[in-house]
Amino acid sequence: MKYYIGIDLGGTNIVAGVVDENFSLIATASNKTNAGRPADQIAETMAQTAAQVAEKAGISMEQIESVGIGSPGIVDSQKREVIFASNLDFYNAPIGQLLEDRLHRPVFLANDADAAAYGEFMAGAGKTENGQHISNMVAITLGTGVGSGIIINSKIYNGYGFAGGEFGHTVICLNGRPCSCGRKGCIETYCSATGLITTTKEHMQSNPDSLMWKLCDGDLDKVDGRTCFDAAEQGDKAGQAAVEEYTNALGEAIVNAINTLQPEIICLGGGVSKQGENLLRPIRSYMDRFCFDRFAAHRTQVRIAELGNDAGIIGAALIGLQAE
């Protein structure tokens, strides 16, 4: 049996997992990142976490084929450096080499959204309905922001300078909502959970009699990504309008991705994706109206991601397989 370790390097926590050759996650361990420390100190904590998870899995480090890291920020996967990650205060940090020096195992590095996409591709949503593996996929995570990863010809694609594939920072509304990236009208400002909450609040403020006010006890600070969906299911017109505005925006973003790349599958993860068919149904309708591939024999499928929070760990563990 072959084993791999994947490390999800976050601004708050370092989470490591052992993944076997069947792509199953068999053990996890975590430690605090304590972001702001020098890269070599964080690499030391990562090495300790990797050793802990190997022990929990009942294997030695010598049994580990390779180790992969999923890191936020712009990542040079060839040099195994984090070019820039604001929440880690990393600038050209050679984190891959630093960890390899400590573990004496081959270490690979990818952006965290790319790692999650690769995890879904290898072990989650990346198969056709008859179980056949695909070659091209886009994974979109609808969380606080909008993360995305692109798989082309079974490998992560991240652009000429390792900063590509950022669908969340593609504009869908010129001079629209301000985005943290400095632009206005980005997909992230409309399609993230944060964007959904903003849309919900706008509809509530325009409709003081909406059921959504009751669902959040009359407190706008209690509005979450479920509020408008829950109200819409109960027949609330304002809730239905908020859901329609949100799913139209997300549908537009997905159509753009399909018209650009036309992968076999686009999978949606993150908290908003828990709406399942209530989210997918209007998006598929939007695709049927506006996707260029509606004239083609083979069409992109949109589906819900399968691995949840484990996608990044599993994907990081397996990124070394791209080199084979």
Distance CA 288, CA 281 (A): 11
For residue 54, is pLDDT > 90? yes
For residue 113, is pLDDT > 90? yes
Q: Average of pLDDT values for 287-292?
A: 96
Q: Which amino acid is at 187?
A: I
For residue 200, is pLDDT > 90? yes
Q: Average of pLDDT values for 133-156?
A: 94
Q: Average of pLDDT values for 194-211?
A: 98
Nearest to 184 by CA among 198, 170, 163, 195: 170
Distance CA 221, CA 283 (A): 28
| pLDDT tens digits, one per residue of 148-159 | 999 999 999 999
Domains plus CATH for the chain?
Answer: 3-123+310-323 (3.30.420.40), 137-305 (3.30.420.40)
Q: Average of pLDDT values for 222-233?
A: 98
SS3 helix, strand, coil % of the chain, rounded to 5?
Answer: 45, 25, 30
Confidence of residue 133 (pLDDT cuts 50, 70, 90): confident
Classify residue 126 as exposed, middle or buried by CB count within 10 Å of its CB (0-12, 13-18, 19+): buried
Nearest to 250 by CA among 150, 172, 138: 172
Task: Tell me if 311 sits within 8 A of 119, measured CB to CB.
Answer: yes
For residue 87, is pLDDT > 90? no
Give the pTM.
0.93
Q: Average of pLDDT values for 78-83?
A: 95
Q: What is the pLDDT of residue 324?
A: 62
For residue 180, is pLDDT > 70? yes
Confidence of residue 18 (pLDDT cuts 50, 70, 90): very high
Confidence of residue 130 (pLDDT cuts 50, 70, 90): confident
Q: What is the pLDDT of residue 128?
A: 75
Nearest to 230 by CA among 247, 204, 256, 212: 212
Q: Average of pLDDT values for 33-50?
A: 96
Beta strands 74-76; 81-85: pairing state: antiparallel
